[in-house]
Chain A
């Protein structure tokens, strides 16, 4: 059995981004890993293969060809549309902690020479939750892919819709899915990469609408939360429930690709689907 087939039991506090110290402790195998080595290994534990969560900025850095990324809509900022108690403070805290305005980074970049529009959700910003701004950024990205005739690649890491924006968040499922549907109607490739975790409203909208759905090993992927399901059915769920491996077995995703092979996998898929290479476009 491959080491990532077993889902580690990791508490929320352990799941935080690795501290900036010299050594990091793997939340699964508990081994101490030299921070530099973890970085070199794309934040995958060299001992047990555990895929650490990535910030959106790190994801972009390890995915796109160097210097090829141009960000869209970096200034798009959330407001507190419902006057929801505590929301402005949570937003401020997330901004301070991540140095980002919101839970998504979007833009164009090249992946192994293929120009594409990228959407990357950031779990470290309020659990990567989708409110108005994330929904708007995803939608603008999909529309931009359509206008530029480029493939769309989304990297999800999200607990789902953002409660603090109520039904406005729910409507982002409709907005982003409608934009994804338009890409399909025009024959443009859309590859959805799900990383740990991808749940709730993000799975129930654009993340499951990719032509191909790729997951990272061990990623939690599902619609309803484990506790809600356990309460509903009145029994405990197995550890492997709602993992990427579970989803692959049940036919819900196309493949599980370890992080160090992801760029090559995206490149292979884009070639199958006839996406233009950046060099070709430059001379056209």
Chain B
């Protein structure tokens, strides 16, 4: 047995890394910082490491090619897959070129075009999510940001091929959900997924963006919280201190989880797959039935 306690990498028989006992539990706000860490591996790096011969496809055929979103085909562990993911840059120059990974409507429409190709050719879809939000610009509104998101959500709910979603960093509200409806939703341990950024929530509810830490706790946006609420299916373990301390370890854990789920989903008949996907979202929510008042 190896003395090195860290899991060996790239071994062909590599099993899932054992869940390390968390030494300290991070606060929601600390996790927000890790999810946004500049050195954190981003969706393009996950694609680069997990996908062989990634071939990018461009454009929505309607307006332009959105540099904030990557979409194309490639091979995952010997299987052809469609891949989508926002392009958050590694530095300011890249971020400016790719709009900080905030897609415009044409980005979501490009992603949809590639997902429909995946459906046509019977290839599963792999979606890596790390976006602060759909781009809040005037031109994005003019071109129908809301409509683009709504359409992707609706189409993904009924796409006739398996969809595996991995939230790797920031899952920013509708802008993330527009790439995030799937049969299995995985989430890295220090990723976040939220209906509104904590700063925005604090500004609206308490008129004080400075109370973002409080909002981060209240929103229950960590992987652990969301697992408890039934919103995500599985947490992908990160190395101690966050994925940026050992990106390869994070990639390896993601590869294992994605491979396992893709394999299981491939065995399902398409009608079963679709019904399961519908029911997965159908049951999300918390409410009580009271006897309605007599009228």
Contact = CB atoms under 8 A, between A and B. Distances in A.
Interface string B227-238: 001010000000
A79 interface: yes
Interface stretch (B36-44, B137-145, B239-247, B263-271): B137-145
Contacts of B13: none
A163 B281 contact: no
Contacts of B174: 161, 170, 173, 200-201, 204-205, 223
Interface stretch (A5-13, A20-28, A129-137): A129-137
B288 interface: yes
B196 interface: yes
A139 B193 CA distance: 23
Interface in A202-230: 203-209, 222-225, 228-229
A76 B228 CA distance: 23
B193 A74 contact: no
B286 interface: yes
A94 interface: no
Interface stretch (B67-75, B81-89, B119-127, B154-162): B154-162
Contact of A229 (B138, B288, B293): B138
A40 to B, nearest CB: 25
B195 A175 contact: no
B278 A208 contact: no
Majority secondary structure of chain A interface residues (helix, strand, loop or mixed): helix
A168 B141 contact: no
Interface in B263-295: 277-278, 281-282, 284-293, 295
Contact of B177 (A85, A163, A170): A170
A237 B178 CA distance: 26
Given A82-B219, A208-B146, A233-B138, A181 B195 contact: no
A274 interface: no
B287 A181 contact: no
Contacts of A184: 154
Interface of A: 71, 73-79, 81-82, 84-86, 101, 131-133, 135-136, 139, 161, 163, 165-175, 177-178, 180-182, 184-185, 200-201, 203-209, 222-225, 228-229, 232-233, 237, 241-242, 246, 250-252
B141 A181 contact: no
B204 A163 contact: yes
Contact of A166 (B178, B200, B219, B291): B219
Given A174-B177, A232-B136, A161 B195 contact: yes
Contacts of B151: 208-209
Contacts of A171: 231, 281, 284-285
Nearest to A170: B195
Contact of B146 (A77, A222, A232): A222
Residue of B205, B285, B286, B292 most packed against chain A (CB within 10 A):
B285
12 contacts: A77-B288, A86-B205, A101-B290, A166-B220, A174-B157, A177-B153, A181-B157, A204-B145, A222-B141, A223-B146, A224-B141, A233-B137
Contacts of A136: 285, 287
B231 A167 contact: yes
B285 A132 contact: yes
Nearest to B219: A166
Interface residues of B, number: 56
A6 B204 CA distance: 27
A232 to B, nearest CB: 5
A223 B157 contact: no
Interface of B: 134-138, 140-147, 149-151, 153-155, 157-158, 173-174, 177-178, 181, 193-196, 200-201, 204-205, 218-221, 226, 229, 231, 277-278, 281-282, 284-293, 295
A250 B195 contact: no
Given A79-B287, A81-B286, A223 B177 contact: no
B136 A228 contact: yes
A223 B231 contact: no
A132 B138 contact: no
Contacts of A79: 286-288
Contact of A237 (B138, B144, B146, B193): B138
Nearest to A252: B144
B292 A74 contact: yes
Contact of B220 (A167, A182, A232): A167
A70 B145 CA distance: 35
Contacts of B200: 228
A180 B141 contact: no
Contact of B142 (A77, A174, A204, A250): A250
